Amino acid sequence: MPHPEELGPYRVTGLLGQGGQGSVYLGLAPEGGRVAIKMLRDPVDTAGDAHRRFLREADAARRVAVFCTAKVLDVGATEDGQPYIVSEYIPGRSLHELVRSEGPRTGSGLVRLAVATLTALSAIHRAGIVHRDFKPGNVIMGPEGPVVIDFGIARAADQTTTHGVAGTPAFMAPEQFDGVPLTPAADIFSWAVTMAFAATGRLPFPGSTPASLMHAIMTAEPDLADVPDDLLPAVARCLAKEPSARPAAADLLAEFTGLGPAAPGHALRNTDTLPPARTPTPTPTPTPTPTPVRTPTPASQEGAVVAADEGPAAVAVLATLTAVVAAVFALQEWHGALTGVQDVVLPWRVADSLCDALLAITALAFAATVWRDDRPAAVIWISLLPGALVGVGFDPADHRTLALGALGPALACVPAAALGLMAWGEARPRALLALATAALMAAEAVAVLLGAGLHLVAGAGHTTLAAWLVVAGLQVRRPPSPAASAA
């Protein structure tokens, strides 16, 4: 399903991820800064109580202090009642993705993670909000340290729907399954599960289905083997089944930072429920100016779209150049098939070899761009190389090169089809173009062997190849991290 071009004053530039609550888009604010836009799944009546509750909950999230959190910038709804929340865009991989790809966090890095996330939860609770969906996917390991995202959004999402339970089962507190009013203690339980996962790479409550996870969380003791000694006591206390037995985020933060018991303040305690929210005065809220986020420069700071914009831009230019050559070659072949006059612009050997060589270089560029975050796609792009390079030098007038002429498209059609199938769920037009190109590559191989219809098939194949490369070049990006989507 294509993403919207605009949401309110924000221009949508790409899809970051999708999940149970909705879709997350990368967008540009009117001032030019990048933002993350979460469009919730269920529409609401913009004149009804549900919409007013949604705006009230989202407005509370905007008051959270910005240290260690992604600032909520704006809220709104489309003309058909689809609510969306705009927040600061934080480039980086999620804690979930980082642990899965690089292993558990250790040493001082693990302690810094605990302090940063507790700092964020303290600020969230101080604003009178319960996160309700704290998990590794909602912790972005940004260029300036861990950042918690999506706070308050699960609660706001609840205001737009009457079905389901907000949260991710593996990281939910026991009381979340009971449907009772939640307190900050639910977030503390989720924090402990998250820290155990970060420290060990596995969940403290195993289960292969939501039902088995729920049963383990509500009845079983957690498996905290391999949790470091300096973290183990706090995690164990936070996993108490009874909410009132869990410490508050501010108290935990004071312990980790050596400040002793937390000073009294206005933060929600673990036994406090959310106070009734005041009905906001119906005055228009000015659109805030988003703070531009610096793009990380070290190679270790992976972006949810790209760590630096130069890579995708270069790939887009290279893909477009290859597409232009393929289009010229396609026009020449269409002309030859229809008029019988061949090689109007360039001799076949030159035009086809140039196109194949550029395709090989473009495939390498695509592979290099997505290698770090989508290894299977990178490998498939690399597997296009043999098919492209084998076809270099093929001349239909030279019978000695017929085997190369058939082998090249035969080898290339398989990875082209694989790339089409991989893109099917998120970019249907690109997927269809890739699959059409693969089919015509296979047809070209047959036409070479049969010696019939080659120019017609080659023209059609290079036409779809040109269109596919243009679309793929414009859409090239690193896959979104689960944290960036956290939908």
User: Which residues are the active-site residues?
Assistant: 133
C-alpha 455/C-alpha 453 separation (Å) is: 6
* DSSP class per residue in 388-440: HHHTTT--TT-GGGHHHHHHHHHHHHHHHHHHHHHTTTT-HHHHHHHHHHHHH
Task: Provide the token pair at 32.
Answer: 């030019």
Burial label, 179 (beta-carbon count in 10 A; 0-12, 13-18, 19+): exposed
CB 114 within 8 A of CB 256: yes
CB 475 within 8 A of CB 430: yes
CA 7 vs. chain centroid, Å, equals 19
Task: Provide the token pair at 71.
Answer: 């600032």
Task: Provide the token pair at 154.
Answer: 């699960």
Question: Quick one: which of 19, 21, 18 has its CA closest to 165?
Answer: 21
* DSSP class per residue in 308-342: STHHHHHHHHHHHHHHHHHHHHHHHHHHHHHHS--
Task: Provide the token pair at 127.
Answer: 């604003």
Residue 79 neighbours by CB under 8 Å, 6+ apart: none
Interstrand relation of 34-40 and 22-28 (parallel, antiparallel or unpaired): antiparallel
CB 388 within 8 A of CB 361: no
Question: Quick one: which of 129, 117, 119, 108 has its CA closest to 262?
Answer: 119
- What are the CA-CA distances from residue 402 to residues 93, 322, 442 (Å)? 48, 24, 15
* DSSP class per residue in 61-92: HTTS--TTBPPEEEEEE-TTS-EEEEEE---S
CB 160 within 8 A of CB 249: no
Task: Provide the token pair at 153.
Answer: 């959004």
C-alpha 256/C-alpha 262 separation (Å) is: 11
- What are the CA-CA distances from residue 106 to residues 34, 110, 112, 226, 340 (Å)? 32, 5, 10, 11, 70
